[in-house]
Amino acid sequence: MTTSGTDERRTNTRAQIRTVALEMFAERGYDKTSLREIAERLGVTKAAVYYHYRTKEEILASLFDEHIAAMDAIIEWGKAQPEGLERSRGVLERYSGLLTGSGDEVPQLVRFLQESQTSIKELSAGEDMRRRFAEMSTLIVDSGAPLAAQLRGRLSLIALHFGAFALDALPGTPSDRRDAALEVALDLAGADAAEPS
């Protein structure tokens, strides 16, 4: 029988493994990071890491679980809205909020995703993210929109990704850069004229 203290330690260890793995994946790349190296950085044995996660892909999938669930919530919200500028604006604003999140994990995860597309392309977590990204982009433009409008919809999502991590060289605070990225995304999607939702 487990006690709540044991459960709390197990949860804390899993969170520490996730945090360190994400740092290492972002620093060294997914392919160049091993479970042994994650264990070494944590100061535990490989068996301790293996107890919680049997593979790097399991760690990666656990990192994406919350992010994917949040994307699913945005997609469901968007599907329940009528087509138009209000829906486009709402999807982009919600996704911007998700990408910038609270704490460091979400932006770091987004950065890792952007920089490691080749490494994770064949993994189920990478495929899950691509599928959601494509589905979300269809909610930004009306059905039957011209190809150029569909491309602008996808580019609007990419603008948000860049705003979450790639604009460090620009002046201003992270919040300023996020707001600028959202402005660009709304402009690309043609949703900049809509009233905020």
82, 134: one domain: yes
* DSSP string of 47-113, one letter each residue: HHHHHH-SSHHHHHHHHHHHHHHHHHHHHHHHHTSPSSHHHHHHHHHHHHHHHH-SSSHHHHHHHHH
45, 114: one domain: no
73, 49: one domain: no
Give the residue ranges of the chain where pLDDT is below 70.
1-11, 101-107, 110, 114-115, 117-119, 165-168, 192-197
Dihedral (CA of 188, 193, 194, 195) sign: positive
Domain count, the chain: 2
45, 91: one domain: no
Domain that holds residue 11: 1-54
Q: What is the pLDDT of residues 157-194, one digit of tens each?
A: 989 887 776 656 777 777 788 888 899 999 999 876 54
11, 93: one domain: no
State residue 143's pLDDT score: 86
117, 196: one domain: yes
Say if residues 113 and 30 touch (Cβ distance below 8 Å): no
State residue 57's pLDDT score: 86
Structure tokens at 74: 């945005």
Structure tokens at 171: 């002046």
Structure tokens at 104: 């460091």
26, 83: one domain: no
- pTM greater than 0.85: no
Query: Could you give the CA distance from residue 91 to residue 184 in angstroms, rounded to a whole number?
Result: 14
67, 43: one domain: no
50, 127: one domain: no
**Considering just the CA atoms, what is the radius of gyration of the chain in Å?**
19
State residue 194's pLDDT score: 42
Instruction: List CB contacts of 145: < 8 A, sequence separation 6 or more.
Output: 153
